[in-house]
Amino acid sequence: MPAKQAAAAQRAGDGILACPVCALPLNRDGGRFACSNRHVFDLAKEGYVNLLLAHSKDPGYNKEMIAARRDFFDLRHYERLADDMAEIITGYLPPGPAVILDAGCGEGYYLRRIRRHLTGAGQAGRTALCGLDISKHGVRVAARRDTEGLYAVAGTFRMPVLPGRIDVLLTHFSPVSAADFRRVVRPGGIVLAGGPGEDHLYSFKELLYDSPARFEPSESLTPADGFEPVTTHRIRYKLQLRGAGQVANLLAMTPFYWTADQDTQARLAAVEELDTEVDVILHAYRRVADPAG
């Protein structure tokens, strides 16, 4: 690993990750992370660490789906969404050093746009960016494209993160683990849970179904989970797709991909023009303090 990338990984990894075996702090030691119980996890050449202990050989988005997502993002279709999210997220940062965690980061696009926003605001030097995802293919791309971030292959339940270490946690179209979010987010810290608004990708859904249903937004966290609602942010705009393969790549970005048969995939691959809706709701929640005693 290049010296600059190794130094960045060292800085990013300090005091954030926990051993997935025994939950003790993981410390960077050369080209690996290790805990005091001598559980050792090597850094990949791209700069990420695999902390997944699951038995599944290749969980999450596969290599082809990550490639489709990367191509879709590279064409800047979600740039407005990502930049609006970055502005919202950085508005919740405390005045001093901070840690932002993307729980379900995929190929790291949103974290890269957050870093760009922080750099423009002169805040990048005091903010650590961390991404976790169960897909090793996504994390590999994320680490390769953002050598200053901390990336680990891990699930969003029982995250290998130290308690109370996170200032702002983003979960965007990913599963919500209320108990684990409460564990890793410091009291007073923020969770931003992103999900579809009623109209999200509705015109796209009309290509998939005869009678598409609109999404029904709902709250992700409650006071019973240890979080109080702060406010709701909404990001809406028209998405224009033009050219071969773009609608097919959009399919690979969504959960609809898992149920689309080969005939549906082939039909969408032949569509070269689509206007659809981006309608995303970000619910902001503040982690309340634990009861005294």
Which tens digit of pLDDT belongs to each residue from 186-206? 999 999 999 999 999 999 999
- pLDDT greater than 60 at residue 11: no
Q: Indicate the average pLDDT of the chain.
A: 90
- pLDDT greater than 50 at residue 4: no
pLDDT in tens, 86-102: 999 999 999 989 999 99
Q: What is the pLDDT of residue 3?
A: 42
Q: Token digits for 121?
A: 């605001």
Q: What is the pLDDT of residue 292?
A: 66
- pLDDT greater than 70 at residue 270: yes
The strand order across the sheet containing 185-196 reads 49-50, 150-153, 127-133, 98-103, 166-172, 185-196, 273-287, 227-242
What CA–CA distance (Å, rounded) separates 27 from 233? 36
- pLDDT greater than 60 at residue 6: no
Query: How many C-beta neighbours within 10 Å does residue 40 have?
Result: 12
pLDDT-derived band at 14, boundaries 50, 70, 90: low
Name every residue whose Cβ is closer than 8 Å to that of residue 269 and which is 6 or more positions away in sequence: 245, 247, 248
Mean pLDDT of the region 261-275: 91
Query: How many C-beta neighbours within 10 Å does residue 58 have?
Result: 11
In the chain, domain spans: 48-287
Mean pLDDT of the region 119-147: 93
- pLDDT greater than 70 at residue 55: no
Closest CA to 251 of 201, 212, 285, 210: 201
Least confident of 48-52, 57-61, 71-75: 57-61
CATH class, range 48-287: alpha beta
The H or E element that residue 274 is part of is strand 273-287
pLDDT in tens, 203-227: 999 999 889 999 988 888 999 999 9
Q: What is the pLDDT of residue 127?
A: 95
Q: What is the pLDDT of residue 70?
A: 86
Q: What is the pLDDT of residue 72?
A: 87
What CA–CA distance (Å, rounded) separates 99 from 124? 11
User: Regarding predicted confidence, which is higher, 256 or 291?
Assistant: 256
pTM attached to this predicted model: 0.90
pLDDT-derived band at 7, boundaries 50, 70, 90: very low
